[in-house]
């Protein structure tokens, strides 16, 4: 693990903890909530967090690129690109349901190198450096040993545009909920990934995600020994919309259950590349 990567991690952690503190202080207070779409909320805390994170990253690395959910893409052509979800789980936060996090990842020349996901409610910080393992606070973490769907707790999520074509989402949910021990829908993609990384969930699938939802968490899962792909088993692409993350052992059976739904995926608005 080179010193430069450690430095990136240090700054990402600092930015995530600062934003986490801001979220913690504002939780349960009156804050402005706006609609980005029919059911897609954004609060003033989302925007304030992204501004805070951008300031910290740019103070340390002024020429790096940043893609943030609220501020879009900034910067020139530097190979380092930060991917920020300043508040993943906004609906939860707005409702006072304590399951949300700050997610910050660094990609260099197309490869994830650093990932930090900070849950300010539980003071849990998940982090990974490429090749250096994955951590929850000061404990090294691994994915679960679960071998079959019947002994597995899965997690998924639904996108904000669900209503403009719900069938594929509901069909997948139906198939997995009837076969797994249980399926949760907790409402924060970055934390869902981290919970796979530390074995609290055995696998996670979702369709309709954005790069900032997946970036940091995907590296944390990989470094915890898990597997990631799109719904066809191809290497995960952050610009794709479909993600399957598992403890590795469950990956073949989950891809098998997804396979009958691929024609519907190919015909859907989520088809990319």
Minimum gap (Å) between residue 159 Cβ and ligand IPD:
5
Site for ligand IPD in 206-235 (CB under 6 A): 206, 208-209, 213
Give the nearer residue to ligand IPD in terms of CB position, either 224 or 243. Answer: 243
Q: What CA–CA distances, in Å, run from 98 to 121, 186, 192? A: 6, 10, 14
Among the residue ranges 82-90, 129-137, 162-170, 216-224, the one whose residues contact ligand IPD (CB under 6 A):
82-90
Residue 104 φ/ψ, nearest 5 degrees? -135, 120
Maximum Cα–Cα distance across the chain = 50
* Binding of ligand IPD by 172 (CB under 6 A): no
* Binder among 19, 114, 189, 245 for ligand IPD (CB under 6 A): 189
Q: Is 119 in the site for ligand IPD (CB under 6 A)?
A: no
CB atoms closer than 10 angstroms to residue 198: 21
Nearest residue (CB) to ligand IPD, 136 versus 193: 193
Q: Is 179 exposed, middle or buried (0-12, 13-18, 19+ CB in 10 A)?
A: middle
Read off the DSSP letter of residue 232.
Answer: T
CB of 122 to ligand IPD, least distance (A): 17
Output the smallest distance, CB 256 to Ca ion, in A.
28
Q: Which is nearer to ligand IPD, 41 or 60 (CB)?
A: 41
Q: Return the number of the residue (85 or 206) whose C-beta is nearest Ca ion.
A: 85
In the 3-class helix/strand/coil scheme, how is 2-69 assigned residue by residue? CHHHHHHHHHHHHHHHHHHHHHHHHCCCCCCEEECCCCCEEEHHHHHHHHHHHHHHHHHCCCCEEEEC
Exposure of 134 by Cβ count < 10 A (0-12 exposed, 13-18 middle, 19+ buried)?
Answer: buried
The span from the CA of 104 to the CA of 83, in Å, is: 6
| 186 contacts Ca ion (rule: CB under 5 A) | no
Q: Which of 8, 57, 64, 89 binds ligand IPD (CB under 6 A)?
A: 89
Per CB under 5 A, residues contacting Ca ion are 69, 85, 87-88, 213
Per CB under 6 A, residues contacting ligand IPD are 85, 88-90, 157-159, 187-189, 206, 208-209, 213
């Amino acid at each position: 693990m080179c010193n430069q990567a450690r430095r990136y991690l240090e700054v990402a952690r600092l930015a995530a903890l600062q934003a986490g503190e801001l979220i913690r202080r504002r939780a349960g207070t009156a804050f402005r909530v706006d609609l980005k779409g029919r059911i897609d909320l954004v609060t003033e805390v989302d925007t304030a967090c992204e501004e805070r994170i951008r300031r910290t990253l740019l103070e340390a690395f002024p020429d790096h690129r940043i893609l943030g959910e609220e501020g879009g893409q900034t910067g020139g052509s530097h190979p380092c690109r930060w991917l920020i979800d300043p508040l993943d789980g906004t609906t939860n936060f707005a409702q006072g349901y304590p399951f949300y996090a700050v997610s910050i990842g660094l990609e260099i020349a197309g490869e994830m190198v650093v990932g930090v996901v900070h849950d300010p409610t539980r003071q849990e910080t998940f982090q990974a450096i490429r090749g250096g393992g994955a951590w929850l606070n000061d404990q090294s973490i691994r994915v679960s040993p679960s071998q079959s769907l019947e002994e597995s707790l899965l997690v998924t999520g639904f996108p904000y545009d669900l209503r403009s074509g719900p069938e594929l989402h509901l069909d997948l949910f139906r198939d997995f909920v009837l076969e797994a021990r249980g399926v949760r829908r907790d409402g924060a993609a970055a934390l869902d990934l981290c919970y796979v990384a530390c074995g609290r969930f055995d696998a996670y699938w979702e369709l309709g995600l954005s790069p900032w939802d997946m970036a940091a968490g995907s590296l944390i899962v990989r470094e915890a020994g898990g597997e990631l792909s799109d719904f066809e088993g191809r290497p995960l692409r952050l610009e794709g919309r479909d993600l399957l993350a598992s403890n590795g052992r469950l990956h073949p059976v989950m891809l098998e259950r997804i396979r009958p739904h691929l024609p519907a995926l190919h015909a859907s608005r989520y088809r990319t590349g």
